[in-house]
Structure 1
Amino acid sequence: MARSERSEAGASPSAKASELKRVLERLVREIPDEEGSGGGGGECEEARVAEVFDRISKTVAALRDLKLRRTLSQRLESAAVPEQFICPISSELMKDPVVLATGQTYDRAHIQAWLNNGHRTCPRTQQVLSHLILTPNYLVRNMIQQWCESQGIELPAPQNGTGDVYQEGITQGDRVHLDSLLQKIAFPSMEEQKQAAKELRFLTKRASSFRTLLGQAPDAMPLLLSLLSRVDSDLHPEVQEDVVTTILNLSIHDDNKKLVAEAPEAIPLLIKALKSGTMQTRSNSAAALFSLSALDANKIKIGEAGAIGPLIELLDQGSTMAKKDAASAIFNLCIMHDNRARAVRHGAIPVLLNAIKNESSGLVDESLAILSMLSSYQQALEEIVRNGGVQCLLDIIRENTSERNRENAVATLYSVCWNDRSKLREVREEEDENSSLSLLSQNGTSRARRKAAGILDRVRRFTNTA
């Protein structure tokens, strides 16, 4: 989540504005250019790009909102706000008044936050709520708007319960349309469900606002997951693909990552699709798991649910796009130490080494990065040696032109040599013939130079004691 979304409430408006501007500058630098994208990376690459643009849109909206709120605050200080326009929770002028089940009116942002924190009572009356539906209070909203116009005050955009400005473009018509699609998902007709699933996939890919809106709908995830669990993927593969891709699109929005992962069936059903769907469905499922794994808590959930094995299988046997999506997900998941052990147990090392040896795989960069991460695990080092990995790593150090790849290769080799002194002879032979490590110790990255020098030192000691 961008730092703009976590600004402390006590920070001054000017400090908040400066922070938002810094965030915006950083996000603009994160936009991948055509050359840096490597010609496309499948759904994961689309997810990354979409996420960056979502955050840019959100930060720009937050800057605009901050300016409006500063103006509003200044003008409200000199205006007597009618009591019926004040939210009982925040004691501030309501921007988006809604009616709770008890008939009390609150500002949507604050009552939604109350409900999101697990409360099931009315803050004012303490009555237990019969339902959690928030109904717009158009009468009060219009009265507030008229009063603001009479005072020369411009209201900022409404906020949701997490403090984020609503994405531009959400209209009441969008909300009605979403309700209609969710009703079709719940309808027993498979044709209605097919149509709704396909349209949800399209809308959530096209519009960031719809990803926000779908995440706010309390029934959306249960209905999507219910359809995904019931659909026969052999008879209706397109429905499974559409629902999985909708979940992927939904997960791109930061606030939805936790929402999706907390649904008990979400991750298991994505893993099921990862195992048995069409190649496109499997690829999109891997991309969804990659997107969800941005949160550390989700990395643990996904690993414990059994995703590592199917992801490695996809990395080994999938299409080019599917392999890239799988590699991205595996890398993110293996940031957590327990998932590294799972990856090694499920045969990651030979799959990664095969991808590294095969330059046409298009996965050399990703595979070396994962291998370097796994090399902190003892069993991984033994698997690297057993599968001829030392020579493979030496070939990368000698021949590959990418500084990052050579850095990851020498870092992995360093761990191997530290763990198994018998491999130092093989390294010495390479060094005597090509001086690969000596060259890297002089012209590699800072980390590569350190690792290469460390290996050379061990080789010298080994030679002197042999």
Structure 2
Amino acid sequence: MVRNRREELYVTVPTLFRCPISMDVMKSPVSLCTGVTYDRSSIQTWLSQGHNTCPATMQILPSTDFTPNLTLRRLINLWLQHQPPHAPSSSAVTKSEFLEIVKNLNGEKNRLSSLLKIVEFLKCSSENRRFFVSLSDAIVNVVGVLVDCDVVEVCELVVAVLDLVISENEVKEILRSDRRYLSKFLMILKNGKLSSRIQTAKILEFIALDVNSQRKIVEEQGLLYELYVFINTETNRFAIEAGLSTLIAISTTRPVRKELIRFGIVETIGKIITGSETARIVVEKSLKLLETVATCTEGRSAIGKSEDCLSGIVTRLMKSSRAATEHGVTVLWSVCCLARDEAAREAVGKVNGVMKVLLVMQSDCSAGVRQMCGELVKALRVGNSNSSNKKYSKSCLASYDTKTTHIMPY
């Protein structure tokens, strides 16, 4: 009977609209450099697990960047508009069964199985996710499992549930009101699988929207350090991006920045931005965090001592996003102009920093950044004239005319 009913309601989905990984209709189709298109969430999960190949062709990916397939997305949306408005859910459980699972979650002996069913239910549709959030005490019950359980696999499933609904205000408010679950986040960052660690970092970023929440995260012993270790040891672009985003969100006070400097955040960012295959969004977030660190004396001192980091910043100017370039200029200005670090000025000059700064001045940058560029050129010229390096002192800086209005790219 069930089989006949399902066959009666079955809707044929064009193969082109199905994600090669999940086999579901794609919600946000994106294409890899191999030309194969996947649903964004599916390919992100694949890459976050450490794979460096295209799942369909198994080709090694020279780049893990992907591009939205807007044409296919429009075709899918057009097709969906002509489907029955009340198509049956592909969820493994009905809403009534789901209610029972959520209600008895804290008393369940087999929590792993129950949480798996909740995750599958939430993945099916945005309607299911709204239904879940609207349930009385549903989020409280799920967070309660996280607080009471010490099994990594169970905690990872709770994180998967929260990751699916974290954008809802009700969820963020509940997570901000209690900090007992943070120790389980620490456990996942230490021992969880990569996809769960990425989800954990994303959730922490979502809830770190006010000073009180940021303070709770930082006060959890070891959590800040594990977030640092996360970006320092991982090579996966989604892991590094998630970790950087979280650190940016919680680095709003000087004590936090000083701790990150003590851990070695400047050297770590230097390593990231000098990587030849580093994604643009990762470069942008790296320079944003570096700009945050440079707001304190200790940060400017650490950056000034790292010639590799300074060289990496100069190299990335005008080669990533506009935001990345402006973050980079701000860092260089903080060290070379605000801190008046002579060694930093010399290091920047050695890698043709003035040429890059001049190019930024002629680009579509903000007025504030253009002013910092002007001050940087003057500072680097002074640093050059005082340099003991004769070869360096004969560079273009020595005869630079501040009235120059145009310079050809090199």
Smaller-chain TM-score bracket: 0.5 to 0.7
| 2:138 is the alignment partner of 1:220 | yes
- Aligned partners of 1:219 and 1:287: how far apart in 2? 23
| Partner of residue 293 from structure 1, selected from 200, 208, 212 | 208
Tell me which residue corresponds to 1:442.
Answer: 362
User: Deviations along 1:399-422, whole A, 9 cap, x unmatched?
Assistant: 725333222211101111121431
| 2:154 is the alignment partner of 1:239 | yes
Distance 1:325 1:462, change over 3 A: closer
SS of the residue aligned with 1:424? Answer: helix
Tell me which residue corresponds to 1:200.
Answer: 118
User: Deviations along 1:21-50, whole A, 9 cap, x unmatched?
Assistant: xxxxxxxxxx99969xxx96948xxxxxxx
- Aligned partners of 1:213 and 1:453: how far apart in 2? 55
- Aligned partners of 1:183 and 1:360: how far apart in 2? 47
- Aligned partners of 1:449 and 1:340: how far apart in 2? 27
Distance 1:263 1:220, change over 3 A: farther
Tell me which residue corresponds to 1:360.
Answer: 277
| 2:300 is the alignment partner of 1:381 | yes
- Aligned partners of 2:325 and 2:247: how far apart in 1? 21
- Aligned partners of 1:231 and 1:359: how far apart in 2? 42
| CA-CA distance at 1:429 after TM superposition | 4.0
| 2:314 is the alignment partner of 1:391 | no
Pairing of 1:50-65 with structure 2 (within 5 A)? none
Distance 1:270 1:250, change over 3 A: farther
| CA-CA distance at 1:222 after TM superposition | 4.4
- Paired AA for residue 344 in structure 1: I
8 Å Cα contact 2:150-2:184 kept in structure 1: no
8 Å Cα contact 1:334-1:340 kept in structure 2: yes
| 2:347 is the alignment partner of 1:426 | yes
8 Å Cα contact 1:279-1:319 kept in structure 2: no
Pairing of 1:241-390 with structure 2 (within 5 A)? 241-306=156-221, 307-318=223-234, 320=236, 321-335=238-252, 337-362=254-279, 363-388=282-307, 389-390=309-310
| CA-CA distance at 1:393 after TM superposition | 1.8
Length-normalised TM-score, structure 1 = 0.56
Pairing of 1:75-154 with structure 2 (within 5 A)? none
- Paired AA for residue 327 in structure 1: L
SS of the residue aligned with 1:361? Answer: coil
8 Å Cα contact 2:143-2:181 kept in structure 1: yes
- Aligned partners of 1:205 and 1:239: how far apart in 2? 18
Unaligned 5+ residue runs, structure 1? 1-30, 44-168
Distance 1:425 1:351, change over 3 A: closer
The structure with the largest helix share of the pair is: 1
- Aligned partners of 2:179 and 2:385: how far apart in 1? 60
User: Deviations along 1:273-299, whole A, 9 cap, x unmatched?
Assistant: 222212222111111112222445423
User: Deviations along 1:282-338, whole A, 9 cap, x unmatched?
Assistant: 111111112222445423322232532211211122352222221222222224555
Tell me which residue corresponds to 1:161.
Answer: none
Tell me which residue corresponds to 1:458.
Answer: 379
- Count of residues in correspondence between the two structures: 301
Identity %: 16
Length-normalised TM-score, structure 2 = 0.63
Unaligned 5+ residue runs, structure 2? 1-26, 32-37, 46-88, 388-410
- Aligned partners of 1:242 and 1:415: how far apart in 2? 43
- Aligned partners of 1:218 and 1:264: how far apart in 2? 21
| CA-CA distance at 1:242 after TM superposition | 1.3
| CA-CA distance at 1:253 after TM superposition | 0.7
